[in-house]
Chain A
Amino acid sequence: MRRASVPAVVGGLLLGLLVAAVLISLVWTPVDPLAIDLAAPLAPPSARHWLGSDEFGRDVLSRAMVGARISVGIALSTVACSLAAGTVVGVAAGFLRGPVDRLAMTVNDALLAFPGMLLALGVIAVFGAGATRIVFALALAYLPSVVRVVRGAVLSIREREYVEASRVMGNSEAYSMIRHVAPNASPQIAVLATSMFGWVLLAESALSFLGVGVPAPAPTWGNMLASARPYLDTAAWLGVAPGVCIAATLLGVNLVSDALRDRFDPREDR
């Protein structure tokens, strides 16, 4: 095994920090993240409020920790849903070819013609905001990219000899797909899943920032940033914490996904 590179280690550390914050927030936060303290609004960082307090006197650190939990939960569920649905469609389209493939690709291209963010906005316009609906909207928005990547991988896998052998042995198409094709596409799917986690986290923050994400008072990094906006000139710390959280998470995700890509695709030396 090769030694891990410096960027991969940094990425792993950043993600480790995120996981730690999420896990700790399950059992403990410095202060109740929803506790309003109107006596001390917009307090600068202090011993009581390490990262300061917001316009309602709520503790920024506690809210950022719970925000991590909500954002990560939404991102993980979205990636899981989108990957599950996308893998089924992508494997079926790429392996069966013919009319199934043509139909799937036509629908896929039509969905790809909408920017992911806009597609999500459209779905939210109809079904409303809220954690589950955001998962649905974002999973649908990223589905076409998953289908495309999985189908691409399957197109090359289906020509390999072990798939041919499985057919010759009289295995059904469904069995070959589940037993031989899908598992061999898993490296590509793993790389995609990592990058997608980053995209979805960013998209969810953006939706929350626009005011169509997880409704208040539940904290997410995006809506913390949005509500910090009017106070930024006097309380800059309100804008720093959520922004740094998003950026550090994305950086961690990108570094780890680069490392994964290098591992699975050693051709490119970056």
Chain B
Amino acid sequence: MSPAARTARYVAKRLLLSVPTLLLAALFVFVLIRLLPGDPAQVMLGEGADPDAVAALHRQMGLDRPAPMQFVTWLGSALHGDLGTSVATGQPVLPLLLQRFQVTASIVLSAVAIATLLAVAGGLLAAWRHGRVLDRAIVAAATISMAVPSFWLGLMLLLAFGVKLRWLPVVGYVPLHENLGAGLAYLVLPVATLAIVESGVLTRMMRASALDVQRLEFVTHARAKGASELAVMVRHVLPNAFAPTLTLAGLTLGHLLGGAAVIETVFTLPGLGRLVVESILARDYPVVQGCLLFTALIYVLVNLAIDLCYPLLDPRVTVVG
């Protein structure tokens, strides 16, 4: 079998294996909303709502039918991209999700990429100078960055660069495709905040695996051969030590894509996380459901993508079809 066919089979198999996970996740989301005390339609529309409107929403949500039927119908429409309509705005949920997701994705992807680059550089440097001042300084910085809450760092950066120095805008958002310059200005602080906060744990992971790999014989061999220190670290240590950091970066990515609510709140960005919180506060449950389901799907897909990266990094790892 050609490598391409093998990879295709592996992807198909992995996707198939994630079906039960996603089904259970969907069931969980479905049951969660049914746990609402009282009639969900009444809860969503509020106490003083028009009884006719409540009855209509009740029917629209299919609440008059048995629960398993409701689940199947709900899941069926979800598979067709119909996640219902927002109770608050009447907008269909899926386009709303996708629109908000673009904002979250642009921030999170850039932040995790920057954090990973920082981690690789910092981790390799620290491992190279193991036990020296530079190593201690990098470990200390990483440990401190792990302790700083993102929302506090964000607020402090906003206070310093937005309010005091006035270098960057404080409130608002401009989509990148409308105005690249202005759009980037709004993204600098959120991306910097997330990158700093996430780089700590990644740096420590990179350092720990680089230290393990450094002890191996092929590294000594490369040094004995007369390879420069830079070449030893970048050509020999990095490729063999990167996998755990990549896994962790992938997990971080998967989590942040659905859970950047805090950073989006600090910087008033119209992202997915903000949408979840707003919908919870507005009791807009179709949107909450849609967000939860969408996030679970993204998480599974990101994990799959990361697994597919391993063979690219290390030829010894092959995709088993």
CB within 8 Å of B: which residues of A?
Answer: 7, 106-107, 109-111, 113-118, 121-127, 202, 205-206, 209-212, 222, 225, 229, 232-233, 236, 239, 242-243, 246-248, 250-251, 254-255, 258, 268-270
Is B149 on the interface with A (CB-CB < 8 A)?
yes
- The smallest C-beta distance from A124 to any residue of chain B, in angstroms, reads 7
* Contact A115:B280 (CB < 8 A) given known A225-B151, A239-B159, A254-B143: no
B262 (CB) vs chain A CBs: closest residue: A206
Alpha-carbon distance A110/B152, docked complex (angstroms): 31
> 17 A-B Cβ contacts within 8 A?
A110-B24, A115-B254, A115-B256, A115-B295, A116-B259, A117-B262, A118-B295, A125-B280, A126-B35, A210-B277, A225-B151, A233-B164, A236-B159, A243-B156, A251-B144, A255-B143, A268-B208
Residues of B within 8 A of A243 (CB): 148-149, 152, 155-156
Contact pick for A121, options B146, B151, B277, CB 8 Å: B277
Interface residues of B in 248-297 (CB under 8 A from A): 254-256, 258-259, 261-262, 265, 273, 276-277, 279-281, 283, 285, 288, 291-292, 295-296
Alpha-carbon distance A243/B276, docked complex (angstroms): 24
Interface residues of B in 108-159 (CB under 8 A from A): 139, 143-144, 146-149, 151-152, 155-156, 159
Main SS of the interface on chain B? helix
Whether B292 lies near A114 (C-beta < 8 A) is yes
Interface residues of B in 174-214 (CB under 8 A from A): 208, 211
Most buried by B among A205, A246, A247: A247
Whether A126 lies near B36 (C-beta < 8 A) is yes
- Taking residues whose C-beta sits less than 8 angstroms from the other chain, chain B's interface range is 35 or more
Is B309 on the interface with A (CB-CB < 8 A)?
no
Whether A122 lies near B32 (C-beta < 8 A) is yes
Residues of B within 8 A of A107 (CB): 24
- The smallest C-beta distance from B244 to any residue of chain A, in angstroms, reads 13
Is B33 on the interface with A (CB-CB < 8 A)?
yes
Residues of B within 8 A of A205 (CB): 149, 151
- The smallest C-beta distance from A85 to any residue of chain B, in angstroms, reads 16
Alpha-carbon distance A134/B36, docked complex (angstroms): 16
Alpha-carbon distance A126/B139, docked complex (angstroms): 41
Bits for B19-47, please: 1 = Cβ < 8 Å to A, else 0: 01111110011001101100000000000
Whether A122 lies near B292 (C-beta < 8 A) is yes
- The smallest C-beta distance from A105 to any residue of chain B, in angstroms, reads 10
Q: A125-B279, A125-B285, A232-B155 are in contact. List 11 more A-B contacts (CB 8 A).
A: A106-B21, A115-B255, A118-B291, A206-B262, A209-B262, A209-B265, A233-B159, A233-B164, A247-B148, A247-B152, A250-B148
Alpha-carbon distance A222/B285, docked complex (angstroms): 25
Whether A117 lies near B288 (C-beta < 8 A) is no
Residues of B within 8 A of A229 (CB): 155
Alpha-carbon distance A185/B159, docked complex (angstroms): 46
* Contact A239:B155 (CB < 8 A) given known A111-B28, A125-B280, A212-B281: yes
Contact pick for B288, options A116, A125, A211, A246, CB 8 Å: A125
Is B168 on the interface with A (CB-CB < 8 A)?
no
Residues of A within 8 A of B300 (CB): 113
Interface residues of B in 212-270 (CB under 8 A from A): 254-256, 258-259, 261-262, 265
Residues of A within 8 A of B291 (CB): 118
Residues of A within 8 A of B276 (CB): 118, 121
B162 (CB) vs chain A CBs: closest residue: A233
